């Protein structure tokens, strides 16, 4: 078993597509950058908000207002339009029963992440929730993973689990084993390109990796 198991939140533990996409559409419209409903914005799930605004071509001078509009709508409405992936509750219980500490490491602001965990009834299931508390943090998830490991007492063996390249790269930079999950929102070939130690296609396969490690 790993001493510590770190999970990404959006796309990995949860399916937040409806809430996040609607909040991004609201934010873009609020700054005059309307995106038609038939354009798929699910690629925006996972990366930092500012990374997404840059990728979609929003001029830099509109980013601050768009971030505020996104946060306002998402905190009040979108945050609660989310569902756990099937099997996650049992997985967390099994990992905890096996003796691992559990943390959530996410690009969400910490308060939003804590509210999500509370809304889903998982407060008792995790030992730490670590997010991003500075709007200008862009791209690199390493500080989030570093803080999560510190909150868990700098464990001897650890693993970072996520659906995007940010999770794998940050986990590796913090000397964690890494697991990519295919049920999230990675672009085609994204997980292959960053080379996680394991790639799993189901929660059951993830459980096998985590519970058989030793």
Rounded CA-CA distance 195/202 in Å is: 18
CB-based burial, 71-101: b 16+ in 10 Å, e otherwise: bebbeeebbebbeebeebbebbeebbeeebb
- pLDDT of 101 strictly over 70: yes
The pLDDT assigned to 136 comes to: 42
The pLDDT assigned to 133 comes to: 78
Domain ranges of the chain: 4-15+83-212, 17-80
- pLDDT of 205 strictly over 60: yes
Residue 11 near residue 184, CB atoms below 8 Å: yes
pLDDT tens digits, one per residue of 75-99: 899 899 999 999 999 999 999 999 9
Residue 7 near residue 128, CB atoms below 8 Å: no
CATH assignment, 17-80 = 1.10.150.240
Portion of the chain with pLDDT greater than 70, in percent:
97
CATH fold for domain 4-15+83-212: Rossmann fold (3.40.50)
């700054």: which residue's tokens? 31
Rounded CA-CA distance 95/78 in Å is: 29
């Amino acid at each position: 078993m790993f001493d510590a198991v770190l999970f990404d939140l959006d796309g990995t533990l949860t399916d937040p597509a409806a809430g996040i996409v609607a909040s991004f559409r609201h934010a873009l419209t609020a700054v005059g950058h309307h995106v038609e409903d038939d354009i798929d914005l699910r690629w925006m799930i996972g990366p930092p908000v500012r990374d997404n605004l840059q990728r979609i071509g929003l001029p830099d001078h509109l980013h601050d207002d768009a971030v505020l509009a996104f946060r306002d709508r998402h905190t009040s409405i979108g945050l609660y339009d989310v569902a756990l992936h099937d099997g996650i509750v049992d997985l967390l219980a099994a990992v905890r029963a096996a003796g691992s500490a559990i943390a959530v490491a996410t690009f969400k602001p910490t308060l939003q992440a804590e509210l999500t965990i509370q809304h889903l009834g998982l407060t008792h299931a995790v030992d730490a929730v670590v997010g991003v508390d500075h709007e200008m943090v862009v791209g690199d998830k390493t500080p989030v993973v570093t803080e999560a490991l510190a909150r868990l007492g700098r464990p001897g063996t650890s693993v970072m689990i996520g659906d995007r390249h940010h999770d794998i790269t940050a986990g590796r930079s913090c000397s964690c084993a890494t697991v990519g999950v295919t049920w999230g929102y990675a672009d085609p070939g994204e997980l292959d390109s960053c080379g996680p130690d394991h790639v799993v296609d189901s929660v059951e396969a993830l459980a096998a990796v985590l519970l058989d490690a030793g």
